[in-house]
Chains A and B, each alone.
Chain A
Protein backbone atom coordinates (compact mmCIF):
# COMPACT_ATOMS: atom_id res chain seq x y z
CA UNK A 1 0.00 0.00 0.00
CA UNK A 2 1.21 3.47 -0.67
CA UNK A 3 -1.54 5.62 0.64
CA UNK A 4 0.67 7.15 3.26
CA UNK A 5 2.43 10.45 2.87
CA UNK A 6 5.15 8.73 0.83
CA UNK A 7 2.54 7.39 -1.53
CA UNK A 8 0.93 10.78 -1.82
CA UNK A 9 4.25 12.44 -2.52
CA UNK A 10 5.02 9.90 -5.15
CA UNK A 11 1.64 10.37 -6.76
CA UNK A 12 2.03 14.11 -6.71
CA UNK A 13 5.45 13.85 -8.28
CA UNK A 14 4.25 11.42 -10.90
CA UNK A 15 1.28 13.62 -11.62
CA UNK A 16 3.51 16.64 -12.07
CA UNK A 17 5.74 14.67 -14.41
CA UNK A 18 2.84 13.51 -16.53
CA UNK A 19 1.28 16.95 -16.51
CA UNK A 20 4.44 18.50 -17.88
CA UNK A 21 4.64 15.90 -20.64
CA UNK A 22 0.96 15.89 -21.39
CA UNK A 23 0.90 18.47 -24.21
CA UNK A 24 3.55 16.57 -26.16
CA UNK A 25 1.88 13.25 -25.44
CA UNK A 26 -1.44 14.58 -26.63
CA UNK A 27 0.11 15.94 -29.81
CA UNK A 28 1.79 12.65 -30.47
CA UNK A 29 -1.45 10.77 -29.85
CA UNK A 30 -3.30 13.22 -32.05
CA UNK A 31 -1.02 12.66 -35.00
CA UNK A 32 -1.24 8.96 -34.38
CA UNK A 33 -5.02 8.86 -34.12
CA UNK A 34 -5.87 11.89 -36.24
CA UNK A 35 -8.81 12.35 -33.96
CA UNK A 36 -8.79 14.76 -31.08
CA UNK A 37 -11.31 12.94 -28.88
CA UNK A 38 -9.70 9.56 -29.49
CA UNK A 39 -6.29 11.04 -28.73
CA UNK A 40 -7.57 12.31 -25.41
CA UNK A 41 -9.01 8.90 -24.59
CA UNK A 42 -5.80 7.15 -25.53
CA UNK A 43 -3.69 9.51 -23.44
CA UNK A 44 -6.00 9.27 -20.46
CA UNK A 45 -6.01 5.50 -20.57
CA UNK A 46 -2.26 5.48 -21.09
CA UNK A 47 -1.74 7.69 -18.06
CA UNK A 48 -3.74 5.26 -16.01
CA UNK A 49 -1.72 2.33 -17.27
CA UNK A 50 1.44 4.30 -16.61
CA UNK A 51 0.39 4.95 -13.04
CA UNK A 52 -0.32 1.29 -12.50
CA UNK A 53 3.04 0.35 -14.00
CA UNK A 54 4.96 3.21 -12.36
CA UNK A 55 7.35 0.83 -10.67
CA UNK A 56 8.79 -0.09 -14.05
CA UNK A 57 9.92 3.49 -14.61
CA UNK A 58 13.33 3.43 -13.00
CA UNK A 59 14.58 6.76 -14.32
CA UNK A 60 12.35 9.78 -14.58
CA UNK A 61 14.45 11.10 -17.44
CA UNK A 62 13.16 8.19 -19.46
CA UNK A 63 9.55 9.06 -18.68
CA UNK A 64 8.77 10.55 -22.05
CA UNK A 65 9.77 7.60 -24.24
CA UNK A 66 8.27 5.28 -21.64
CA UNK A 67 4.95 7.09 -21.85
CA UNK A 68 5.09 7.29 -25.64
CA UNK A 69 5.51 3.54 -25.79
CA UNK A 70 2.50 3.10 -23.55
CA UNK A 71 0.50 5.44 -25.76
CA UNK A 72 1.47 3.57 -28.92
CA UNK A 73 0.41 0.28 -27.33
CA UNK A 74 -2.79 1.76 -26.05
CA UNK A 75 -3.56 3.15 -29.47
CA UNK A 76 -2.93 -0.29 -30.97
CA UNK A 77 -5.28 -1.79 -28.42
CA UNK A 78 -7.91 0.80 -29.23
CA UNK A 79 -7.45 0.07 -32.88
CA UNK A 80 -7.94 -3.63 -32.23
CA UNK A 81 -10.95 -3.07 -30.02
CA UNK A 82 -12.66 -0.80 -32.46
CA UNK A 83 -11.61 -2.91 -35.42
CA UNK A 84 -11.16 0.17 -37.56
CA UNK A 85 -10.38 -1.45 -40.84
CA UNK A 86 -11.32 1.33 -43.19
CA UNK A 87 -10.69 5.00 -42.97
CA UNK A 88 -11.81 7.78 -45.18
CA UNK A 89 -9.03 10.31 -45.02
CA UNK A 90 -11.15 13.07 -46.50
CA UNK A 91 -13.71 12.40 -43.82
CA UNK A 92 -11.02 12.51 -41.15
CA UNK A 93 -9.71 15.76 -42.54
CA UNK A 94 -13.20 17.23 -42.62
CA UNK A 95 -13.85 16.11 -39.08
CA UNK A 96 -10.65 17.62 -37.78
CA UNK A 97 -10.86 20.69 -39.96
CA UNK A 98 -11.24 23.15 -37.08
CA UNK A 99 -7.91 22.06 -35.72
CA UNK A 100 -6.20 21.65 -39.03
CA UNK A 101 -7.38 25.04 -40.18
CA UNK A 102 -6.45 26.67 -36.90
CA UNK A 103 -3.11 27.57 -38.38
CA UNK A 104 -2.89 31.21 -39.28
CA UNK A 105 -0.82 30.38 -42.31
CA UNK A 106 -2.42 28.63 -45.21
CA UNK A 107 0.65 26.53 -45.90
CA UNK A 108 0.56 25.14 -42.37
CA UNK A 109 -3.01 24.10 -42.84
CA UNK A 110 -2.09 22.40 -46.11
CA UNK A 111 0.84 20.71 -44.43
CA UNK A 112 -1.41 19.36 -41.69
CA UNK A 113 -3.85 18.02 -44.21
CA UNK A 114 -0.98 16.36 -46.06
CA UNK A 115 0.22 14.84 -42.79
CA UNK A 116 -3.24 13.48 -42.20
CA UNK A 117 -3.11 11.72 -45.52
CA UNK A 118 0.29 10.23 -44.88
CA UNK A 119 0.19 6.49 -44.15
CA UNK A 120 0.79 5.74 -40.50
CA UNK A 121 3.91 3.74 -41.38
CA UNK A 122 5.45 7.01 -42.52
CA UNK A 123 3.63 9.41 -40.27
CA UNK A 124 4.58 7.72 -37.03
CA UNK A 125 8.38 7.75 -37.41
CA UNK A 126 8.18 11.26 -38.77
CA UNK A 127 6.25 12.49 -35.74
CA UNK A 128 8.63 10.68 -33.41
CA UNK A 129 11.57 12.33 -35.10
CA UNK A 130 10.31 15.86 -35.66
CA UNK A 131 7.93 16.30 -32.76
CA UNK A 132 9.46 14.05 -30.14
CA UNK A 133 13.09 14.51 -31.08
CA UNK A 134 13.84 10.82 -31.45
CA UNK A 135 17.03 9.76 -33.17
CA UNK A 136 16.95 7.20 -35.95
CA UNK A 137 18.21 4.55 -33.55
CA UNK A 138 15.53 5.39 -31.01
CA UNK A 139 12.81 5.25 -33.63
CA UNK A 140 14.14 1.92 -34.84
CA UNK A 141 14.02 0.61 -31.31
CA UNK A 142 10.55 1.96 -30.64
CA UNK A 143 9.08 0.70 -33.87
CA UNK A 144 11.10 -2.47 -33.92
CA UNK A 145 12.62 -1.65 -37.28
CA UNK A 146 16.14 -1.59 -38.66
CA UNK A 147 17.96 1.71 -38.95
CA UNK A 148 17.90 1.70 -42.76
CA UNK A 149 14.18 0.90 -42.72
CA UNK A 150 13.57 3.90 -40.52
CA UNK A 151 15.63 6.15 -42.77
CA UNK A 152 13.68 4.91 -45.78
CA UNK A 153 10.36 5.65 -44.11
CA UNK A 154 11.47 9.08 -43.01
CA UNK A 155 12.73 9.90 -46.45
CA UNK A 156 9.54 8.69 -48.10
CA UNK A 157 7.42 10.53 -45.60
CA UNK A 158 9.00 13.85 -46.52
CA UNK A 159 9.00 12.96 -50.15
CA UNK A 160 5.27 12.30 -50.10
CA UNK A 161 4.55 15.43 -48.13
CA UNK A 162 6.47 17.59 -50.55
CA UNK A 163 4.75 15.94 -53.45
CA UNK A 164 1.37 16.52 -51.84
CA UNK A 165 2.23 20.17 -51.40
CA UNK A 166 3.37 20.49 -55.01
CA UNK A 167 7.01 20.98 -54.21
CA UNK A 168 9.76 19.56 -56.31
CA UNK A 169 11.33 16.83 -54.33
CA UNK A 170 14.67 17.10 -56.09
CA UNK A 171 15.82 13.77 -54.77
CA UNK A 172 15.65 10.34 -56.24
CA UNK A 173 17.53 8.42 -53.62
CA UNK A 174 16.40 5.40 -51.67
CA UNK A 175 17.80 3.80 -48.57
Chain B
Protein backbone atom coordinates (compact mmCIF):
# COMPACT_ATOMS: atom_id res chain seq x y z
CA UNK B 1 0.00 0.00 0.00
CA UNK B 2 1.35 3.42 -1.04
CA UNK B 3 1.89 5.90 1.81
CA UNK B 4 0.69 9.54 1.81
CA UNK B 5 4.10 11.06 1.14
CA UNK B 6 4.75 8.80 -1.80
CA UNK B 7 1.29 9.47 -3.19
CA UNK B 8 1.65 13.25 -2.86
CA UNK B 9 5.04 13.23 -4.44
CA UNK B 10 3.87 11.23 -7.43
CA UNK B 11 0.59 13.08 -7.84
CA UNK B 12 2.48 16.34 -7.34
CA UNK B 13 4.71 15.40 -10.26
CA UNK B 14 1.80 14.46 -12.47
CA UNK B 15 -1.60 15.54 -11.15
CA UNK B 16 -3.47 14.06 -14.11
CA UNK B 17 -1.85 10.67 -13.80
CA UNK B 18 -4.20 7.74 -14.33
CA UNK B 19 -1.92 5.32 -12.59
CA UNK B 20 -3.99 2.56 -10.94
CA UNK B 21 -1.94 2.51 -7.75
CA UNK B 22 -2.42 6.23 -7.28
CA UNK B 23 -6.14 5.93 -7.93
CA UNK B 24 -6.42 3.14 -5.43
CA UNK B 25 -4.70 5.18 -2.74
CA UNK B 26 -6.82 8.21 -3.48
CA UNK B 27 -10.05 6.27 -3.25
CA UNK B 28 -9.10 5.02 0.19
CA UNK B 29 -7.71 8.31 1.53
CA UNK B 30 -10.00 11.37 1.90
CA UNK B 31 -7.07 13.64 2.78
CA UNK B 32 -5.16 12.73 -0.33
CA UNK B 33 -8.34 13.02 -2.40
CA UNK B 34 -8.79 16.56 -1.07
CA UNK B 35 -5.13 17.27 -1.74
CA UNK B 36 -5.52 16.00 -5.29
CA UNK B 37 -8.56 18.21 -5.88
CA UNK B 38 -6.58 21.25 -4.74
CA UNK B 39 -3.73 20.18 -6.95
CA UNK B 40 -6.02 19.81 -9.97
CA UNK B 41 -7.39 23.32 -9.44
CA UNK B 42 -3.84 24.56 -9.31
CA UNK B 43 -3.08 22.53 -12.41
CA UNK B 44 -5.92 24.15 -14.33
CA UNK B 45 -4.49 27.57 -13.53
CA UNK B 46 -1.05 26.41 -14.52
CA UNK B 47 -2.34 25.15 -17.84
CA UNK B 48 -4.12 28.43 -18.53
CA UNK B 49 -1.07 30.43 -17.52
CA UNK B 50 1.16 28.53 -19.90
CA UNK B 51 -1.24 29.13 -22.79
CA UNK B 52 0.14 32.57 -23.29
CA UNK B 53 -0.92 34.38 -26.44
CA UNK B 54 2.14 35.12 -28.48
CA UNK B 55 1.76 37.64 -31.23
CA UNK B 56 3.87 36.49 -34.13
CA UNK B 57 5.87 39.02 -36.05
CA UNK B 58 6.75 36.58 -38.82
CA UNK B 59 3.87 35.37 -40.91
CA UNK B 60 6.01 33.39 -43.30
CA UNK B 61 7.98 30.37 -42.29
CA UNK B 62 11.67 30.82 -42.91
CA UNK B 63 12.12 27.99 -45.37
CA UNK B 64 9.04 29.14 -47.24
CA UNK B 65 10.45 32.63 -47.25
CA UNK B 66 13.80 31.35 -48.43
CA UNK B 67 12.18 29.24 -51.06
CA UNK B 68 10.06 32.16 -52.11
CA UNK B 69 13.13 34.34 -52.10
CA UNK B 70 14.98 31.76 -54.13
CA UNK B 71 12.08 31.52 -56.55
CA UNK B 72 11.84 35.27 -56.65
CA UNK B 73 15.57 35.50 -57.22
CA UNK B 74 15.33 32.99 -60.03
CA UNK B 75 12.50 34.91 -61.58
CA UNK B 76 14.30 38.16 -60.96
CA UNK B 77 17.41 36.88 -62.72
CA UNK B 78 15.34 35.50 -65.53
CA UNK B 79 13.50 38.79 -65.80
CA UNK B 80 16.78 40.70 -65.79
CA UNK B 81 18.23 38.41 -68.44
CA UNK B 82 15.09 38.70 -70.51
CA UNK B 83 15.11 42.47 -70.08
CA UNK B 84 18.74 42.68 -71.13
CA UNK B 85 18.14 40.49 -74.16
CA UNK B 86 15.01 42.42 -75.01
CA UNK B 87 16.85 45.70 -74.55
CA UNK B 88 19.71 44.57 -76.74
CA UNK B 89 17.32 43.35 -79.41
CA UNK B 90 15.31 46.57 -79.32
CA UNK B 91 18.44 48.71 -79.32
CA UNK B 92 19.85 46.71 -82.20
CA UNK B 93 16.58 46.97 -84.08
CA UNK B 94 16.42 50.70 -83.49
CA UNK B 95 20.05 51.09 -84.41
CA UNK B 96 19.57 49.12 -87.59
CA UNK B 97 16.19 50.47 -88.54
CA UNK B 98 16.55 54.03 -87.34
CA UNK B 99 20.18 54.94 -87.61
CA UNK B 100 19.28 58.53 -88.33
CA UNK B 101 17.48 59.13 -85.07
CA UNK B 102 20.48 59.68 -82.85
CA UNK B 103 22.42 61.08 -85.79
CA UNK B 104 19.60 63.53 -86.35
CA UNK B 105 19.73 64.59 -82.70
CA UNK B 106 23.45 65.21 -83.02
CA UNK B 107 22.96 67.16 -86.22
CA UNK B 108 20.26 69.31 -84.60
CA UNK B 109 22.44 69.87 -81.54
CA UNK B 110 25.28 70.96 -83.76
CA UNK B 111 23.10 73.32 -85.76
CA UNK B 112 21.66 74.88 -82.64
CA UNK B 113 25.22 75.71 -81.63
CA UNK B 114 25.81 77.80 -84.74
CA UNK B 115 22.92 80.27 -84.97
CA UNK B 116 24.88 82.64 -87.15
CA UNK B 117 24.71 80.10 -89.97
CA UNK B 118 20.98 80.70 -90.36
CA UNK B 119 21.18 84.20 -91.69
CA UNK B 120 19.04 84.85 -94.71
CA UNK B 121 21.33 86.37 -97.30
CA UNK B 122 22.09 86.35 -100.99
CA UNK B 123 25.80 86.78 -100.49
CA UNK B 124 27.71 83.62 -101.28
CA UNK B 125 30.89 82.65 -99.51
CA UNK B 126 33.99 83.08 -101.69
CA UNK B 127 34.74 80.09 -103.85
CA UNK B 128 38.17 79.70 -102.26
CA UNK B 129 36.68 79.57 -98.79
CA UNK B 130 34.13 77.03 -99.89
CA UNK B 131 36.79 74.88 -101.53
CA UNK B 132 38.88 74.95 -98.34
CA UNK B 133 35.96 73.67 -96.35
CA UNK B 134 35.10 70.97 -98.84
CA UNK B 135 38.64 69.84 -99.49
CA UNK B 136 38.89 67.87 -96.25
CA UNK B 137 35.97 65.80 -97.41
CA UNK B 138 37.44 65.44 -100.86
CA UNK B 139 34.55 67.03 -102.66
CA UNK B 140 33.37 70.21 -104.28
CA UNK B 141 29.96 71.54 -105.15
CA UNK B 142 28.78 72.40 -108.62
CA UNK B 143 26.85 75.57 -109.23
CA UNK B 144 23.65 73.54 -109.21
CA UNK B 145 23.79 73.48 -105.44
CA UNK B 146 22.67 77.09 -105.31
CA UNK B 147 24.02 79.95 -103.25
CA UNK B 148 26.18 78.70 -100.40
CA UNK B 149 26.05 81.51 -97.88
CA UNK B 150 27.92 79.80 -95.09
CA UNK B 151 30.71 77.27 -95.11
CA UNK B 152 32.61 75.97 -92.14
CA UNK B 153 34.61 72.91 -91.41
CA UNK B 154 33.18 71.58 -88.16
CA UNK B 155 34.08 68.74 -85.89
CA UNK B 156 31.21 66.33 -85.79
CA UNK B 157 31.41 62.95 -84.13
CA UNK B 158 35.18 63.09 -84.24
CA UNK B 159 35.50 64.04 -87.87
CA UNK B 160 35.88 67.26 -89.77
CA UNK B 161 32.76 67.72 -91.83
CA UNK B 162 31.55 70.50 -94.11
CA UNK B 163 28.80 72.58 -92.59
CA UNK B 164 27.10 74.61 -95.29
CA UNK B 165 24.10 76.86 -95.57
CA UNK B 166 22.42 76.92 -98.92
CA UNK B 167 19.99 79.70 -99.72
CA UNK B 168 16.83 78.33 -101.30
CA UNK B 169 13.44 79.80 -102.22
CA UNK B 170 12.17 78.26 -98.93
CA UNK B 171 14.88 79.97 -96.93
CA UNK B 172 18.32 79.05 -95.67
CA UNK B 173 18.91 75.33 -95.48
CA UNK B 174 21.75 73.79 -93.57
CA UNK B 175 23.64 70.94 -95.12
CA UNK B 176 26.15 68.68 -93.48
CA UNK B 177 28.05 66.29 -95.62
CA UNK B 178 28.68 63.31 -93.41
CA UNK B 179 31.07 61.10 -95.29
CA UNK B 180 31.80 59.10 -92.14
CA UNK B 181 28.14 58.47 -91.25
CA UNK B 182 26.61 55.71 -93.28
CA UNK B 183 22.88 55.21 -92.89
CA UNK B 184 20.80 52.33 -94.06
CA UNK B 185 17.87 54.29 -95.33
CA UNK B 186 16.39 57.66 -95.83
CA UNK B 187 15.26 59.24 -92.56
CA UNK B 188 13.22 62.30 -91.81
CA UNK B 189 13.11 63.98 -88.44
CA UNK B 190 11.32 66.84 -86.81
CA UNK B 191 12.62 67.86 -83.43
CA UNK B 192 13.58 70.86 -81.36
CA UNK B 193 12.20 73.23 -83.94
CA UNK B 194 14.13 71.73 -86.81
CA UNK B 195 12.82 69.70 -89.67
CA UNK B 196 15.34 67.66 -91.55
CA UNK B 197 16.25 64.65 -93.54
CA UNK B 198 19.24 62.38 -93.67
CA UNK B 199 19.82 60.86 -97.02
CA UNK B 200 22.18 57.96 -97.63
CA UNK B 201 24.91 58.41 -100.17
CA UNK B 202 26.05 54.88 -100.90
CA UNK B 203 29.78 54.73 -100.66
CA UNK B 204 29.98 58.31 -99.36
CA UNK B 205 28.23 58.26 -96.02
CA UNK B 206 25.21 60.50 -95.85
CA UNK B 207 24.03 64.01 -96.15
CA UNK B 208 21.95 65.83 -93.57
CA UNK B 209 19.70 68.67 -94.62
CA UNK B 210 17.56 70.67 -92.25
CA UNK B 211 15.60 73.85 -91.92
CA UNK B 212 15.11 75.88 -88.83
CA UNK B 213 11.45 76.71 -89.26
CA UNK B 214 9.39 73.61 -89.94
CA UNK B 215 6.50 75.76 -91.09
CA UNK B 216 8.56 77.15 -93.85
CA UNK B 217 9.06 73.98 -95.77
CA UNK B 218 7.28 70.81 -96.52
CA UNK B 219 9.05 67.56 -96.26
CA UNK B 220 9.14 67.22 -99.99
CA UNK B 221 10.96 70.57 -100.22
CA UNK B 222 13.65 69.18 -97.95
CA UNK B 223 13.91 66.07 -100.03
CA UNK B 224 14.19 68.13 -103.12
CA UNK B 225 16.92 70.29 -101.62
CA UNK B 226 18.74 67.23 -100.32
CA UNK B 227 18.62 65.67 -103.75
CA UNK B 228 19.78 68.91 -105.30
CA UNK B 229 22.77 69.18 -102.98
CA UNK B 230 23.58 65.53 -103.30
CA UNK B 231 23.51 65.74 -107.09
CA UNK B 232 25.75 68.79 -107.04
CA UNK B 233 28.51 67.05 -105.17
CA UNK B 234 31.56 66.27 -107.19
CA UNK B 235 33.87 63.81 -105.52
CA UNK B 236 37.50 64.72 -105.92
CA UNK B 237 38.97 61.40 -104.82
CA UNK B 238 38.90 59.04 -107.80
CA UNK B 239 38.21 56.14 -105.49
CA UNK B 240 35.10 57.87 -104.23
CA UNK B 241 33.68 58.67 -107.60
CA UNK B 242 30.69 56.66 -108.56
The residues of A with any CB-CB pair to B shorter than 8 Å are 11, 14-15, 18-19, 22-23, 26-27, 30-31, 36, 39-40, 44-45, 47-48, 50-52, 99-100, 102-103, 105, 107-108, 111-112, 115, 126-127, 129-131, 136, 150-152, 154-155, 158-159, 161-162, 167, 170-175
A39 touches B54 (CB 8 A): yes
Instruction: Assess the A27–B50 pair: CB atoms within 8 A.
Output: yes
| Chain B 86-97 interface mask (CB, 8 Å, partner A; 1/0) | 000000000000
A-B pairs with beta carbons under 8 Å apart, 11 shown: A19-B61, A36-B55, A44-B61, A52-B63, A108-B48, A111-B46, A112-B52, A126-B46, A130-B50, A172-B5, A175-B13
> Shortest CB–CB separation between residue B231 and chain A, in angstroms?
67
Chain B, residues 40-67, CB within 8 Å of chain A (1/0): the string is 0011011111111111111001111011
A167 B42 Cβ-Cβ under 8 A: yes
On whether the beta carbons of B10 and A151 are closer than 8 Å, the reply is yes
Q: Check B51 against A162 for contact (C-beta < 8 Å).
A: no
Structural contact, A22 and B56, CB atoms closer than 8 A: yes
Residues of B within 8 A of A51 (CB): 62-63, 66
In the complex, what distance in Å separates the CA atom of A99 from the CA atom of B56?
12
Partner of A103, one of B39, B49, B61: B49
Q: Is the CB of B46 within 8 A of A173?
A: no
Min CB distance B75 to A, Å, is 13
* Partner-A contacts on B (CB < 8 A): 5-10, 12-15, 35, 38-39, 42-43, 45-58, 61-64, 66-67
Chain B residues in 8 Å Cβ range of A161: 42, 46
Minimum CB–CB distance from B17 to chain A (whole Å) comes to 9
Cα–Cα distance between A3 and B9 once the two chains are bound (Å)? 54
In the bound complex, do residue B13 and residue A26 qualify as a contact, i.e. CB atoms below 8 Å apart?
Answer: no
In the complex, the answer to whether B13 meets A154 with C-beta atoms within 8 Å is yes
Decide: B35 and A171 in contact? CB cutoff 8 A: yes
Cβ of A159: which chain B residues have Cβ within 8 Å of it?
12
Closest chain-B Cβ to A18's Cβ sits at a distance in Å of: 5
- Please tell me if the beta carbons of B13 and A131 are within 8 angstroms of each other in the complex: no
- A56–chain B nearest beta-carbon distance, Å: 15
| Residue in contact with B49 in the complex, picked from A36, A40, A112, CB distance below 8 Å | A112
Chain B residue with the shortest CB-CB distance to A108: B49
- A14 proximity list for chain B (CB < 8 A): 63
A10-B23 Cα distance, complex, nearest whole Å: 46
Docked complex Cα distance between A154 and B15 (Å)? 10
What chain B residues lie within 8 Å of A175 (beta carbons)?
A: 9, 13
| Cβ–Cβ contact A173 & B6, under 8 A | yes
Are A111 and B45 in contact, CB atoms less than 8 angstroms apart? yes
B45-A108 in contact (CB<8A): yes
- Residues in B whose Cβ lies below 8 Å from that of A155: 9-10, 12-13
Establish whether residues A30 and B8, one from each chain, have CB atoms under 8 Å apart when the complex forms: no
The residues of B that contact A27 with a CB separation of less than 8 Å are 50-52, 54
Cβ of A36 and Cβ of B54 under 8 Å apart? yes
Chain B residues closer than 8 Å to A158, beta-carbon distance = 12-13, 15, 39, 42, 46
**Given A23-B54, A154-B14, A170-B35: A48 touches B62 (CB 8 Å cut-off):** yes
Q: Are B63 and A107 in contact (CB under 8 A)?
A: no
**Could you tell me the distance between the alpha carbons of A108 and B50 in the complex, rounded to whole angstroms?**
9
With CB as the reference atom, state the residue of chain A lying closest to B41. Answer: A167
Chain A residues with CB under 8 A of B15: 158
Q: A40-B56, A130-B50, A131-B51 are in contact. Are A45 and B14 (CB under 8 A)?
A: no
Chain B residues closer than 8 Å to A115, beta-carbon distance: 46, 49-50
